[in-house]
Each structure stands twice: as structure tokens, then as C-alpha cells.
Chain A
Amino acid sequence: MPKGIVWKISLSAFLLSGSLLSAEAETIKIGYIDPLSGPFGTAGDGGLKHFLHAASEINSSGGMAGMPVEIVGFDNKINPKESLIQLQKAIDQGVRFIAQGNGSSVASALTDAIAKHNKRNPGDELIFLNYAAVDPALTNAKCNYWHFRFDSHVDMKMAGLTDWLRDQKDIKSVYILAQDYSFGRAFTAAAKSMITEKRPDIQIVGTALHPVAKIKDFTPYVQKMINAKADAVLTGNWSTDMSLLVKAANASGHNVPYLTFYGGGLGAPTAMGESALGLVKQITEFHENIETSEKQLARMNGFEDTYHLDMFYQRVYTAMHMLDKAVEAVGSLDIPKIAGELEGMTYESPYGEVTMRAEDHQLLQPLYISTFSDDVERDVENTGFGFKTDALISAAATALPTTCKMRRPS
């Protein structure tokens, strides 16, 4: 049988560094459950490559407590039920850590299933490393001991964005546009409440929710924004909805800042092209033009040379290195203990110190607001354009109170 692409990369990454490690050491398997085919396949594929690269990095420096790391990809077609089947497959193959990020519906299905599994199968526990699902509930109402989130959730990013907005005195009115599903609604609610709190003088001149991936021409929305005289637009749109919105804005000459979460998402810069220059701002934990160390630059170059893809998820490296640190501290694959180590851990990332908050397992990390620009050192997707930092939001500023009541295994 022809072995799958995913397997092969992981295998070669593992073999490359295998010589450094003792032959009889147990392998640490991390099951990566994300879409690897179909319409969202690109998003999952990008994440997988980051994990593979981070794994080869760790393996070449001796693995986790002497144990080599292997990333095993599982294609969940971004479907919650299929994810649960793939989870069973992963457990059968000896996977003890699950990584996932695309789709809060999948994340919430997985965190629920993993908590149930751990309760029903003591001694055979799993840890869930969530690298991109941003529904606040996952570290609030739905939090559990086995779930760790390495991305800042919707409310935290919104807190950062509105902190920045507080100092933009020339913005007097905003328009909020988001997709009509749980994330878009959470985005809208957070935007409304935080703007009212931090800048009561800003007028919210309109909000609109539109169905996901159904609108072809956003011009009517843009014209509503123009009519409402919005000084800035806040949007939670991603993927095609993001690119189409920016294209329509540019065509109608709507030259106001578009504050986004996913303006730099994979594929969006190419689709938006020149039309997004100076317009689109994003809030992320990473973009390639943040000033950093030589070591981090070497990592970026290494990643790009291997996979011909821009580095996008710094948080994947953060997750893997924090896991490494926890496994080193425990010295074995005692999952509850490793989870205990991760809880409250601090780690020096290339962009500042990050903390895994113990009370809800939410990573606190500095965030950057950046603008799509043509005056950059490193471009994205070979467009000649890239992101340029406007402001830094400290990790402490994004720390929001949590409603999580963490139940720890005795």
C-alpha cells in the first residue's frame, strides 16, 4: 500500500533525527486531528507542517526526555463526528496527545470526548493541545483539566483590539460585520460590550451578521458602511468571506481601517492582493516581521525552505516546547502529571514570556496589531506584501477573568 504523504513526512522528520536518540526509547505520538482534504484541507495542512517542523526541532535536540516525538496526521474533514472516529484511531495507535485547531465545533466535540474518555479509562488518559479554536467557552463554561489552549480566545483578542482602539482618537464610529454563527456572534457581542466600556464616545453605527460563505458580492455591505459614515470596520470574517469583503471595499473606495482577526489567514493575502494595502489590520500572536532573534529567523527560514509555506503559527512551537518542558520535568509519560506540569507553566517565547494560566488552562501571550503593507522585509505568499507591526498588547492586558471551575483528578 502506498503510504500517505502525512505519514511519510512525519517518518522522515523522525528518521532524520532518530540517530541522535537511543533506539529503545518509547516514542511520544502526537495525533494531529484536523482537515487534511476537502475545502478546509489547506488550513489543516498548514498547521500540520508547523507541528512536523517543531517536532523535528525537538527531535534534533534529543527528543522529549529522551523520547522521540512523532506527529501522526488524522484527517477529520472538519466534521465533529468524523473527528471522534479519528480520535479512536489515534488512541489505538498509542497516541497520548491530541492536537487540533480548525473549527470550534470540532474542538468542543473533542474536549468533551477526551474528558469522557479520561474518566472512563483511568491510566490511559489523553491531553488535548488546542492551537487555534478560539471559542471562549472552551476555557470558561466548557473547561476541563485535559484541555490546554495556546491561542488567545475571541474575547482576549477583542480586548487587545479595543485597547488599541482606545488610543485612536480619530476613530469616532465603527461598523461591525461578522458571520452568522457562534464565532461571529461571540465576536459581535464582545466588540459591542468592550467598545462601550473602553470608548463610550465611539458610536457603533451598524452591525451585520451574514451567513458563512454564501455572499458573493459584499458591495451592498460596504455601501451600508459608507452610508453610515463608519471610521473603521471590525470584522471577524475569515477565508473567502474576508477576501471578498476587502475586494469590495477597495472597489468602492472605502479607505478606512479594517480591523480583523484573520486578515493574514492562509490564502487571504493572495486573494486580497493590492486591494488590502494599508487597509487591513490584524491582531495575532505572530507575524514574520516582528523584531526577533537570529535563532527565530533561522527557524522561519528553515520552515519556509522545507515546506514552501510562510510561517504562521508561532503558537504551535510554543505548544510543543512547553510540552517538551513538561515531559522533561516529569521524566515519563505520566499524563496527569504532565498536565499538572503544564498548568501554570511559564515559557520564554521569541516574542516575550507566555504563561499557561492554571485556573482555566488558557495561554496568556503578548499580541501584536499589524497592518498589511508593501514596505516589509518578509512578505507573505510571495505577494511582495506582508504585515508591519503597529502596536504591542502585553500578555497581562489580555488576561480576562474566567468562569472556569477546574476539576482536577485527585
Chain B
Amino acid sequence: METVVFALLNGLIYGLLLFMLSSGLTLIFSMMGVLNMAHASFYMLGAYFAFTLGQSTGFWFALFLAPICVGAVGACVERWGLRRIHAGGHVGELLFTFGLAYVIEELVKIIWGKFAVAYEVPAELNFSLFELYGAQYPAYRMFMLLVSITMLAGLWYLLKRTRIGLIIQASLTHPHMVSHLGHNVPRIFMLVFAAGCALAGLSGVIGGNYLVTEPSMAFSIGPIVFVVVVVGGMGSLAGAFVASLLIGFLQTFAISIDANFAEIFSFAGLNPEGDLGRITISSLAPMLPFMLLVLMLMLRPRGLMGEREF
């Protein structure tokens, strides 16, 4: 029982963090066809900006300022980088963001140093909220939960209830039609790219101090974000949401299962000391998203709730 409760709680938090990261990418990917390999780098920039801004303005201002700064960087990347090579096809754009991820990581190392920086949870939130089965539950996690739900609601309102949201929604599914209707599609692209980066930046602000803020944080979380987008499906924020939670739960549940292959497949007579029998479900946990990715692309390439195949 307690295992299930903990796995649910942790899976929820991790899933929401993933969703915050990947919602921006889903928007960008669906609209522009660009699978932004540098998306996680904007997550990293969010954490570093919050660290630096936080030193002078405090955490609460940084919470708002840092995503805006990240969004501005994103807008510049779109305006002077991606837009120039848009005509050359998606492979060029994909490779551009691939190179950008390298460059951002090296620049971060030069500006903030090669080691982790001391970006800490704000003192106001550094206490434990309640105790459950002997383990304390930190308040900061609840705060993360609140921020992500607020963001989810805000995003939903923006897309469903505003005029700009209507245009973005239309661009997600029928990008050509929208440009035929006379909207300035490049500007929408830039705005969406900036907004997507800002969302990644926001998840960096609240994830960076909860996890560790260091130059390799982008590289380590990057591939998971693609998994969410692909599994969720093209053009579907709801799909990305479900996929994030699914991956969050899948990973945390798998970690709590200690059984190894020799025990699970005991009928096959595997040697528990052998290479195959020794593998435990919990040690496979980080690999599960990639299995999900490969299976999904082979069996249902439109993803869980995708509007169309890519």
C-alpha cells in the first residue's frame, strides 16, 4: 500500500515536471515541425538565470523574470537562426538545434563554471509538509505541483478561450490554412517558439533547485522530453499531459519493484547470477521510456492522442 501511495505521489510530481518541459516542445514541434533538440538547454538556462537573478532579486521575482529571459533568448534563436534555414527543410533545422545544444552547454560552462552551482530551494518553502509512513514530504514538492497545475490551467485558458489561442490551435493542425488566411505565420512561429522556451525555462526555475543545477543537466534530461512529445502525439497538449504522467508513474513504479528476471521468469530457469537473470525491474526503470518510444513509433506512430502522423 505505502509503496503505491509513494509511487503515485512521486510519479505525479515527476510527470508534471516533464509535462511543463515538454508542453512547449509539443507546441513548437506540432506547429513548425521542428523537433528542438536544444529544448532541454532552455530548461537549463531557466535554472541558471533563476540562480543568478535570485541572488539579487530573490527567488519569487526570479520565478517570473527567468522564464521571460529564456523566452527572449528563444525568440532570438528563432528570429536569427531557425527562420533563416527554414526553407532548407526539417533535417537542417533539427541539426541546427542539435548544434545549438552543444553551444549552449559550453557557454554555460564558461559563464557559470563547470561545477554545479548552489541554487537552493527558497527558505520559505524548505520545510516538511507532512509525514507519511515514516518519510517526510517536503513542502517544495507541493509548490511544484501548484505551479504546474497553475501553468496547465493558464495554458488551457490561453489556447481555448483567447483569439491568439484559436490561431495557434489552428496552426497546430492546419498550418497552411492559417497562413492562407493572412496571419503572419513567421511571427506566430517566433511567439510560439519563445513561449515554448519560456515554459521550459519555468520548469528549469522550479526543477533546478529541486534537482541539481549543473552544465550536464540538459543533456541528461533531453531525450526523455522527446519521448513525451512522440508518445503524446503530434499537436496534442492533452496527449503530452497523459504521456508525461504515464512516464512519471511508469518510472517510479518500476523503481519500487526489486524482482529480477530470474524470479519473474522462473519457469524459464534463468540463472539469477547470469547477465540476463540478474537484471532487476528497478534497474530498467530509466530505460522504460525509450522502450515505450520505440514501441509507440512502430505500432501507433501518431502517438496516444495525435491529431495526425508526422
A–B direct touch, CB within 8 Å, in complex?
A: yes
B115 within 8 A of A: yes
Judge whether B220 and A214 touch: CB under 8 Å: yes
Judge whether B128 and A42 touch: CB under 8 Å: no
Residues from chain B with Cβ under 8 Å of A208 in the complex: 258, 280, 282-283
B135 within 8 A of A: yes
Among A106-154, those with CB < 8 Å from B are: none
Residues from chain B with Cβ under 8 Å of A383 in the complex: 118
Residues from chain B with Cβ under 8 Å of A226 in the complex: 133-135
Q: For residue B220, which residue of chain A has the nearest CB? A: A213
A243–B119 Cα distance when bound, in Å, is 13
Q: For residue B136, which residue of chain A has the nearest CB? A: A253
Residues from chain A with Cβ under 8 Å of B255 in the complex: 210, 220-221, 224
Name, among B128, B219, B282, the residue most crowded by chain A CB atoms within 10 Å (CB to CB).
Answer: B282
A214–B286 Cα distance when bound, in Å, is 6
A180–B216 Cα distance when bound, in Å, is 20
A399 within 8 A of B: no
Q: Which of B114, B211, B212 meets A41, CB within 8 Å?
A: B114
A266–B114 Cα distance when bound, in Å, is 10
Q: Which of A206, A224, A243 meets B212, CB within 8 Å?
A: A243
Residue-by-residue, is A13-44 near B (CB-CB < 8 Å gives 1, otherwise 0)? 00000000000000000000000000101100
Judge whether B283 and A222 touch: CB under 8 Å: no
B189 within 8 A of A: no
Judge whether A180 and B283 touch: CB under 8 Å: yes
A190 within 8 A of B: no
Among A187-216, those with CB < 8 Å from B are: 206, 208-211, 213-216
A352–B71 Cα distance when bound, in Å, is 57
A274–B209 Cα distance when bound, in Å, is 13
A223 within 8 A of B: yes
Name, among B116, B214, B256, B285, the residue most crowded by chain A CB atoms within 10 Å (CB to CB).
Answer: B116
Residues from chain A with Cβ under 8 Å of B7 in the complex: 220
Judge whether B128 and A253 touch: CB under 8 Å: yes
Q: For residue A212, which residue of chain B has the nearest CB? A: B286
A267 within 8 A of B: yes
Q: For residue A381, which residue of chain B has the nearest CB? A: B115
Judge whether A247 and B211 touch: CB under 8 Å: yes
Residue-by-residue, is A231-251 near B (CB-CB < 8 Å gives 1, otherwise 0)? 000000000100110010001
Among A257-281, those with CB < 8 Å from B are: 266-267, 270-271, 273-274
Q: Given A214-B286, A243-B212, is A219 in contact with B128 using a C-beta cutoff of 8 Å?
A: no
Judge whether A244 and B287 touch: CB under 8 Å: no
B173 within 8 A of A: no
A42–B216 Cα distance when bound, in Å, is 12
> Within the complex, what minimum Cβ distance (angstroms) separates B139 from chain A?
10
A273–B118 Cα distance when bound, in Å, is 7
Residues from chain B with Cβ under 8 Å of A211 in the complex: 283, 286-287
Residues from chain B with Cβ under 8 Å of A381 in the complex: 115
Q: For residue B217, which residue of chain A has the nearest CB? A: A240
A217 within 8 A of B: yes
Judge whether A273 and B120 touch: CB under 8 Å: yes
Q: For residue B284, which residue of chain A has the nearest CB? A: A211
Judge whether B135 and A223 touch: CB under 8 Å: yes
A24–B117 Cα distance when bound, in Å, is 47
B3 within 8 A of A: yes
Residues from chain B with Cβ under 8 Å of A222 in the complex: 135
A383–B117 Cα distance when bound, in Å, is 11
B6 within 8 A of A: yes
> Within the complex, what minimum Cβ distance (angstroms) separates A78 from chain B?
13
Judge whether B116 and A243 touch: CB under 8 Å: yes
A306 within 8 A of B: no
Judge whether B211 and A267 touch: CB under 8 Å: no
B52 within 8 A of A: no
Judge whether B283 and A209 touch: CB under 8 Å: yes
A219–B251 Cα distance when bound, in Å, is 12
Q: Which of B14, B118, B216, B252 meets A240, CB within 8 Å?
A: B216
Residues from chain A with Cβ under 8 Å of B13 in the complex: 217
Residues from chain A with Cβ under 8 Å of B221 in the complex: 216
A133–B142 Cα distance when bound, in Å, is 42
> Within the complex, what minimum Cβ distance (angstroms) separates B244 from chain A?
13
Residue-by-residue, is B212-229 near A (CB-CB < 8 Å gives 1, otherwise 0)? 101110011100000000
Judge whether B135 and A254 touch: CB under 8 Å: yes
Q: Given A251-B138, A252-B138, is A267 in contact with B116 using a C-beta cutoff of 8 Å?
A: yes
Q: For residue B252, which residue of chain A has the nearest CB? A: A220
B140 within 8 A of A: yes
Residues from chain B with Cβ under 8 Å of A45 in the complex: 114
A227 within 8 A of B: yes
Judge whether B212 and A240 touch: CB under 8 Å: yes
Q: Which of B136, B210, B283, B287 meets A252, CB within 8 Å?
A: B136
Among B96-137, those with CB < 8 Å from A are: 114-118, 120, 128, 131, 133-137
Judge whether A216 and B211 touch: CB under 8 Å: yes
Q: Given A39-B216, A224-B256, A240-B214, is A210 in contact with B114 using a C-beta cutoff of 8 Å?
A: no
B2 within 8 A of A: yes
Q: Given A221-B255, A227-B3, A227-B133, is A244 in contact with B283 using a C-beta cutoff of 8 Å?
A: no
Residues from chain B with Cβ under 8 Å of A227 in the complex: 2-3, 133-134
A267–B117 Cα distance when bound, in Å, is 9
Among B173-227, those with CB < 8 Å from A are: 210-212, 214-216, 219-221
Judge whether A270 and B115 touch: CB under 8 Å: yes
Judge whether B280 and A209 touch: CB under 8 Å: yes
A254–B138 Cα distance when bound, in Å, is 12
> Within the complex, what minimum Cβ distance (angstroms) separates B171 from chain A?
32
Judge whether A253 and B115 touch: CB under 8 Å: no
Judge whether B128 and A206 touch: CB under 8 Å: no
Residues from chain B with Cβ under 8 Å of A244 in the complex: 211-212
A180–B275 Cα distance when bound, in Å, is 12
A375–B215 Cα distance when bound, in Å, is 30
Give 4 closest A-B pairs by Cβ, nearest first.
Answer: A253-B136, A271-B116, A214-B286, A267-B115
Q: A: which residues have CB within 8 A of B? A: 39, 41-42, 45, 180, 206, 208-211, 213-217, 219-224, 226-227, 240, 243-244, 247, 251-254, 266-267, 270-271, 273-274, 381, 383
- A-B contact list, 29 entries, CB within 8 Å: A39-B216, A41-B114, A45-B114, A180-B283, A206-B258, A208-B280, A208-B282, A208-B283, A209-B283, A210-B283, A211-B286, A216-B14, A217-B10, A220-B256, A222-B135, A223-B135, A223-B256, A226-B134, A240-B214, A240-B216, A240-B220, A243-B212, A247-B210, A251-B136, A251-B140, A253-B131, A254-B135, A270-B118, A383-B118
Q: Assuming A45-B114, A244-B212, what are 8 further A-B pairs, CB within 8 angstroms?
A: A208-B280, A208-B282, A217-B13, A219-B6, A227-B133, A244-B211, A253-B128, A271-B214
